[in-house]
Amino acid sequence: MLQIDALPAFNDNYIWLLQDTTQKRCAVVDPGDAAPVLAWLKQHPDWVLSDILVTHHHFDHVGGVEQLCNITGAKVWGPAQENIPARQVALNDNDHITVLGLEFEVFVLPGHTLGHIAYYHADASTPLLFSGDTLFAAGCGRLFEGSPEQMYRSLNRLAVLPAQTAVYCTHEYTLSNLRFAHAVEPNNPDIAARIAQVTAWRAEGTISLPSSMALELRTNPFLRVNETSVKEKADEWNKQDNDSPSAVFASLRSWKDKF
Ligand code: ZN
Ligand code: FE
């Protein structure tokens, strides 16, 4: 049995904790800080941290890797194209790996960084996607290294995953992303409903994740660049005819950077 919980870190990061409750083994995704993971392990002394999965090289995702690896001996998996501390297995596009007895497929998704990877576990009922800073709930990562065209293609690879895929991203950005989504699509009832839902959750301190691919397709403007109304808003923003979906994406991304 796999259980997944979020360990909060810094202001708005989540370190995803995957727990194999039968074997009492666990894995973490993007431990930017070792402290929350070590605290959990201290409270669960009969558990072993066996694996550390890393999506990209930013400090808030790798800051705790070396310390955790030294203390627990966990195996560190990370993108081949980036410098990842203590990385033991360098991952490339379409690699298949086994963690906690589950198979994960690796997607290389340039955009936020050039070597950014996501981890996908195919499952008949609820597939799992650990999307790092590429696909967020109702948003996407900033383009620190890649081009809009690269990020657009990366997001398209994720958009075709099964609708019931659970999306585990690294940051609690959902509400601010939804405010932007509402500006892009003021008449989208799914966005309005999600704002009400997430506002209530956040008011009581409840996490807004995981999301689902189905919900993202209905409420994430960066996955909705083919909608006429989205294109028109993008055209309004950069005062030009964005005549391709990736041009609409580029316009939305630059708008969001200043929103
Ligand atoms: Zn990042
Ligand atoms: Fe981040």
What's the whole-number mean pLDDT along residues 119-124? Answer: 96
Residue 118, pLDDT score: 99
Question: What is the pLDDT averaged over residues 22-45?
Answer: 98
Give the model confidence (pLDDT) of 138-185 as tens digits: 999 999 999 999 999 999 999 999 999 999 999 999 999 999 999 999
d(CA 9, CA 65): 13
Cα 192 to middle of ligand 2, angstroms = 26
Q: Say what percent of the chain tops pLDDT 70.
A: 100
Q: Three-state secondary structure along 2-13?
A: EEEEEEEECCCE
CA–CA dist 24, 5 (Å, integer): 14
Nearest listed ligand to the Cα of residue 56:
1
Is residue 225 a contact partner of residue 248, using CB atoms and an 8 Å limit? yes
Whole-number Å distance, alpha carbon 83 to ligand 1 midpoint, is 13
Q: How far apart are CA 244 and CA 153, in angstroms?
A: 13
End-to-end CA distance of the chain: 42
> What's the 70 CA to ligand 2 centre distance in angstroms?
23
Task: Just list the catalytic residues.
Answer: 56, 58, 60-61, 112, 133, 171
Residue range 122-130: mean pLDDT, rounded:
96
- Please answer whether residues 112 and 143 qualify as being in contact, where contact means their C-beta atoms are separated by less than 8 angstroms: yes
The mean pLDDT value for 119-140 works out to 98
Average model confidence (pLDDT) for the chain?
98
What is the per-residue pLDDT for 1?
81
Indicate which ligand has the atom closest to the C-alpha of 9: 2
124 against 222, higher pLDDT: 222
Cα 187 to ligand 1 centroid, rounded to whole Å: 31
Of all ligands present, the nearest one to the C-alpha of 113 is 1
> What would the pLDDT profile of 227-238 be if each residue is shown by its tens digit?
999 999 999 999
Which structure tokens are listed for 250? 């580029």
- For ligand 2, the distance from its centroid to the CA atom of residue 220, given in whole angstroms, is 18
Summarised one tens digit per residue, pLDDT across range 54-84 is 999 999 999 999 999 999 999 999 999 999 9
Smallest-distance ligand from the CA of 29:
2
Which has the closest alpha carbon to 183: 140, 219, 137, 136?
A: 219
Rounded to the nearest angstrom, the distance between the alpha carbon of 45 and the centre of ligand 1 is: 31
